[in-house]
Amino acid sequence: MLQDILVTGLVNGGVYALLAIGFSLIFGVARIVNIAHTAFYMLAAYCFYTLLTKTGLGFVLSGLISVSAVTLFSVLCYRLVIEPVREHEAAVLIATIALALVFQELMLYIFGGHFLGIPSTLEGSVRFLGVSIPYQRLLILVVAGAMLVLVWFVLYRTRLGLAIRATANDLEVANLMGMNVHRVAMATVAISVALAAVAGVVVAPVFVVDPFMWLAPLVTMLAIVVLGGLGSMKGSLIGALIIGYVEAITVFAVPAGAYLKGAVALLIMVIVLLARPEGLFGVAFEEER
Amino acid sequence: MYWLRRAWAELRNEVFVLPSRTLVLTWVVAVLALPFVYGDAYVLRILTMTCIFAIFAASWDLLAGYTGQVNFGHALFFGAGAYTSGLLSLKFGLSPWLTIWAGAAVALSFGFLVGYLCLRLRGSYLSLATLAFPLIALGLLFAFPDFSGGELGISGLRRLMPTPTGNYYVAAISMLAIVFGLWLLADSKFGIVLHAIRDDEVAARASGINTLQYKMTVFAIAGAAAGFAGALFAHYLRVAGPSTLEVALSFQVVIWGIFGGVATIYGPVAAVFILYPLTEWLGSIPGVGELRLLIFAVIVLLVLLFMPRGLAPWVRDKIETQCPRCKQRNGSWKSVCRLCGAALRRIDPKLQAQVPGA
């Protein structure tokens, strides 16, 4: 059981990290609370499913196409829906909620409400420390790790990353220093949704695909981001691992744990917030008046 | 006869001078007179639900719009009211007329609790943390299915009134009383303090306002109103289920509130009265029914693109102008202020832009 907990926690933590870091990034740079974030994850899973079962493209090709298509689509959504109401925080909030609802209903209409299963991309499993880990879960872990390294590289070793971090730090000063903050915000949206889309594609064969699959990870992701500190990459990563393990422990070790896993994760978030209102690694934003 | 003439004069001088007041009066009369004019059971059912949700949306607005505590977990209070009232009336056989008050009281204490836990949180942190509370409650309910009925909830509750018209009047009159109560509260000195807390909490505290106490009070009031709505809902549908605690309901009230225009009370109420019957009506059309949430979301998106501050403030600005001197509102057809006589017509900014050198 211990090994089960270790492996499941790590794999779920990896997926949550992909989602939470993207969400955190977009909040840090553009101050957008993007409720539709996990809806893009759902879109990517559906896109992957369609390409895989209808066109007969390979796994790798379908995955790449889904991620890039969803990313492009997200930029389009940002330009058409979010940017016109950027000054009104409340309007942005419900615009993202409405977008998520639109995606959910579109998928419900096109594919129906039943669960869709995707054949496993990789068969077989490897035995490690006495636990058999299916290759599919190992793949999730590897992809998540690779994406995290990639994001770290983009953020800390490129000029775009510098611009993103500068904008997150202080939008006005970054603007005065000659950075095109609108372009930076758009690039951030693309990066963050690409992360969500990658998560959607890799988990699709493990979880079931249905139009409501965005709700549960949304709540967990929000808990992680708040736990780790809004806008902090390190916090999101560590928060994701904490919540991943807490969920795994609750499911495996507590009776009726499957019902309680969300509640326990959220309870931990609330406790952390009580002790440290800005989250574990949060930077207390200066008074924004 | 004197009182009649007096009432008519009041009406003419205070209500009919402003289109928004006329609209509100028409709406109140329409809500009260509806069963006499059109007593169709289906329509009454939809409007009963509309009234219940209007209470819920108005209570959210007091918390989120006026005080700036944007609550993403308002369903907690709704669900607390529904479950408390349902359990009390079912397990102890108490009359629903008593248990709805118990539901409101439990929701009030939940409001205190959430308010206390969230005192140190601000802005987005508060929104995201409050999202957690109804889900924690939901997890607990699912973990103890003997007590809560699990997925199915508790069903077989008694209605408040035997007839549809009676139920409609219970909902409509509570709605009018609570909405006007909240409106009065928001317009009073208390409401001004809430505005101050939203705009600048530090400055409010520096002015000698105990902001912590105010925030907790507002959480409790909003919680009690939402819990009352939840209890009405449970007894009207005769079931208190997990749907009263779901994220979808919490988001729904956020959509109603922002769509109608925050910090107005009447805005979210108007939004519920437009959006809820609209979705029900769309759902009843064959072929369109499956798409109703889609159409709903698209309408919300489109309306927001054109009126980012919400529906009610937009309409209000179209039909009324504010006097630049005494800040009283006037019908937009007036050229001088009805109270102080200052000129109301401002130069159209578009025309002004064409003047060279301006």
Measured CA to CA, the distance from residue A98 to residue A120 in angstroms comes to 32
A153 has a pLDDT exceeding 60: yes
Per residue in A242-281, is it b (16+ CB within 10 Å) or e — as a string?
bbbbbbbbbbbeeeebebbbbbbbbbbbbebbeeebbbbb
User: Cβ contact (<8 Å) for B129 and A273?
Assistant: yes
Backbone angles phi, psi at A191, to 5 degrees: -60, -45
Q: Pick from B133, B136, B247, B264 the residue to mutate for testing the A interface (most A CBs within 10 Å).
A: B136
Closest CB to A109: pick one of B202, B291, B305: B291
Name the token pair of B139: 């997890």
CA distance B168 to B231: 15
At A174, give phi and psi (nearest 5°): -60, -40
Could you tell me if the ipTM is greater than 0.90? no
Residue B129 token pair:
């943390």
pLDDT at A38: 93
Residue A90: is its pLDDT beyond 80? no
Instruction: Considering only the beta carbons, identify the residue of B139, B301, B309 that sits closest to A98.
Output: B301
Element at B185 (helix H, strand E):
helix B164-187
Q: Do B142 and A93 touch (CB under 8 A)?
A: no
pLDDT computed for residue A129 by the predictor:
66
Report pLDDT for B87. 92
Task: Give the span between the Cα atoms of B154 and B274, in whole angstroms.
Answer: 30
How confident is the model at residue B352, as a pLDDT?
Answer: 52
Q: Which of A38-42, A145-149, B152-156, B187-191 has the lowest mean pLDDT?
A: B152-156
CB atoms within 10 A of CB A173: 11
pLDDT score, position A130: 67
Q: Where are the domains of chain A?
A: 2-115+133-275
Q: What's the half-sphere exposure (Cβ side, CA atoms, 13 Å) at A105?
A: 17
Q: What pLDDT, on the 0 to 100 scale, is given for residue A216? A: 85
- Measured between beta carbons, the chain B residues lying within 8 angstroms of A87 are 308
Task: Give chain B's domains with CATH numbers.
Answer: 19-319 (1.10.3470), 323-358 (no CATH)
Q: pLDDT digits over B314-340, tens only? A: 888 888 888 888 778 888 887 888 878
Per-residue confidence (pLDDT) for residue B94, from 0 to 100: 87
**A213-249 pLDDT, tens per residue?**
888 888 889 889 888 888 788 889 999 999 999 988 8
Angle at A219 (CA atoms; ends B150, B211), nearest 5 degrees: 100
- pLDDT value at position B102? 94
A132 or B190, greater pLDDT:
B190
User: How many Å lie between the alpha carbon of B313 and the closest alpha carbon of chain A?
Assistant: 14
pLDDT, mean of residues A124-153: 82
Whether the per-residue pLDDT at A111 is higher than 60: the answer is yes
Nearest residue of chain B to residue A289 (CA atoms)? B200
Q: Which residues of chain B have pLDDT under 70?
A: 345-358
The pLDDT, as a whole number, for residue A287 is 44
Cα distance between residue B187 and residue A257, in whole Å? 47
User: What single DSSP character describes residue B92?
Assistant: S
Q: Cα(A257)–Cα(B348) distance, rounded to whole angstroms?
A: 64
Across the interface, do B143 and A273 touch by the CB < 8 Å criterion? Answer: no
Task: Determine the distance in angstroms separating the CA of B118 from the nearest CA of chain A, rounded to an integer.
Answer: 8
pLDDT > 50? residue A64: yes
* pLDDT at position A266 over 50: yes
- Smallest CA–CA distance, residue B63 to chain A, in Å, is 14
Mean pLDDT of A191-217: 89
Which among A159, A227, A238, A231 is positioned nearest to A192, based on CA atoms?
A: A231
The region, left, alpha or beta by phi > 0 then psi within -120 to 50, assigned to residue B265 is left
**Dihedral angle sign, alpha carbons of residues B115, B121, B126, B131:** negative
DSSP H helices, B118-163, are 123-143, 145-148
**CATH class held by domain A2-115+133-275:** mainly alpha
Interval B5-35: pLDDT, tens: 988 988 888 888 888 888 999 999 999 998 8
Distance from CA of A91 to the nearest CA of B (A): 6
pLDDT of residue A195: 94
